[in-house]
Chains A and B, each alone.
Chain A
Amino acid sequence: MNAFRLARLLLSKKLLKELLLGVQIFFMTVFILMVIVPFENFYTDYSNLQRIFGEKTSHLVQYNATATMQQNHLMNNTNYDDLLDEIAANDAVQTAYRSCEVLANVPYASGAGSEPLKIQTNFIFDSPELFALLSSQLQQGEIVTEPVDNALPVVVSSHFAKLYDIGKVFTAESVGLHHEIVSQINCVVTGVLKERFVHVGASDLSFQANPNEEALYVFACAPSALLPEKIGWMPALLLELKPDTNAEQTRDALCEQFSSLGTFQTTSDFYSEQFDYMITVQGGAWNGLMLFLFALVYIFGFGGYIVVNTLQKRKVFSILMINGMYFSKMLCLNLLSSLLITIPATVLGILAAPYLIRKLAYTTFTGITPGTIVCILLLFVGSVLFSIATTIVQWRRTSIRELYTQGE
């Protein structure tokens, strides 16, 4: 307790300076979290992919059809099954994952009249191999592929489970491009996904991870006896290659063979592109530059405060040292006095960030995760180390006598 009592001596009596620092740290924490989130999500995406595929991660090749083909599929429901079969028939391919996403209306409450209110959901049909990958991400229930009481078994996102939990039956109406009802599917919920889950591939088979927590997702295995014979797969594909193959060579061979039909990317191609996109143009914001600048402002704002405080409090430091305080203890005391302000400001910033950022309608923000907390703590520790180093440099060159006289 003596340490706190002595640390308090280093704070300004009028508290305005400390209050201003607290406000600065608070907003810096919010902004830093805002710009860290895309990076953290990027890292989470990649690590989640590795968690699912393990060593096979480097043996994935993704196929994306041309924009025209995708548009044809959406507008005319053009069937690309033969093309996808041909690509998947490559000797290097071990497993071909397919997926198809449609929009579907689901009743969620009774309206004023007899018509129930409906909400739009993302309905995703996965090939059996892809559907099976969800099994490790369930928080409740199980994956079922065969119809249950003439209903299509589905697993749903945790947010959707608030409407229909395990065992509940509902009717989804798939919606066409002009909002017309294309078909009706009776579904039964057999599993609920964890709050943050990964689905490798949806409409375009990108490595989609951590979908917005608010989103309503329904996953089902296709083909199914309850669905049309041909599901009408989107012209996209994720290929898992055999272990003894070279992903880059296979990519090049596929590019050559199907050059006019779209692009092929390895995992590393995909993430390099994603990273470049993220640090340059995403949302019109230069995330990389912003993160760099905010980190600098944070470190120099926080560290600079300690340095200036140290300079202003030279006389107090020297009086304490004259009375028997030694150098390393002085450093700790100096740090402690700063932490009395900065820790509450940082904690408040972390707590307030989700609310403030959502109020700013920053759509990329997907919430505070342990990863973002680690990032902010690393910055915090970096600032502390910076200020300690600066203080050491200042004090090591100065005698107690000089400190006392300079502090006059």
Chain B
Amino acid sequence: MIRLNQIEKIYQKAKPNEVTALKKVSLTIHDGDLIAITGPSGSGKTTLLHILACLEKPDAGEYLLNGQNITELPDRQKADLRNSYFGIVLQDFGLLEEESVLLNICLPLLIGKTRYKEAKKAAISTLEHMGIPSLASKKVNQLSGGQKQRVAIARAIVHKPQIILADEPTGALDSANTEELLQLIRKLNEEGITFLIVTHNPIVADFCTRQLHIIDGKLSE
């Protein structure tokens, strides 16, 4: 379970162009949740997701993960959390374009010191589970937007994380691909993975079981 208490994030602090991206945001995420965070551009959605993923540090407030305050955790331990507890899907996929799908999916495991043979096995198994084993040997830059998004999700789940944090996962997809992706998310959620999805898409928001709205850095449910 994740709990955020009174989280604040300020960019360009003490400068003329100072921006408060998050204002005393409090949030509880339970295991198995399927949450959508919506809001206009620049409202703080992505900042919230990055703080949850330990990619950025809040300027105030506390971040509790399973009861442990991880706000001040050293970078190395935060990196370990990203490598084990979280799966992260970025809006523009965050894939290594010139590398193979297989290697991209292996990344979290290789970084986590899993042997390449085992990592490869796990990556193939994940691709099969998602119904896209034929993509394994292809280069990422040969894939369509929908295929890239699936690969990004495959990479996010290959190391069996507890939570997947996804930033606009359907942003680059047409409606057919969006529907397919949502079915995949439902399937994974039913298998026990918690999802927190930042989205503009009302279809995705309606699909989720919890909806949070953020405007000007303030979160409401």
User: Chain A residues in contact with chain B, CB under 8 A?
Assistant: 1-2, 5-6, 9, 13, 316, 319-328, 399-401, 404
Contact = CB atoms under 8 A, between A and B. Distances in A.
A6 B111 contact: yes
A326 B76 contact: yes
B55 A401 contact: yes
Contact of B75 (A1, A319, A323, A327): A327
A354 to B, nearest CB: 40
B94 A322 contact: yes
A1 B56 contact: no
Contact of B110 (A5, A328, A400): A5
B29 interface: no
A323 B80 CA distance: 9
Nearest to B83: A324
B177 interface: no
A404 B93 CA distance: 11
B50 interface: yes
A319 B96 contact: yes
Given A6-B111, A319-B95, A401 B56 contact: yes
Contact of A322 (B82, B84, B98): B82
Interface string B76-104: 10011111100010100011101100000
B116 A323 contact: no
B79 A324 contact: yes
Interface of B: 50, 53, 55-56, 75-76, 79-84, 88, 90, 94-96, 98-99, 107-108, 110-116, 155
Given A2-B116, A9-B99, A404-B94, A323 B56 contact: no
Interface on chain A toward B: helix, strand, loop, or mixed SS? helix
B96 A321 contact: no
Contact of A2 (B75, B96, B110, B155): B110
B83 A323 contact: yes
Contacts of A9: 96, 99
5 contacts: A13-B98, A322-B82, A324-B108, A327-B79, A401-B50
Nearest to A1: B116
A3 to B, nearest CB: 9
Nearest to A318: B94
Given A327-B75, A401-B50, A404-B94, A320 B116 contact: no
Nearest to B80: A324
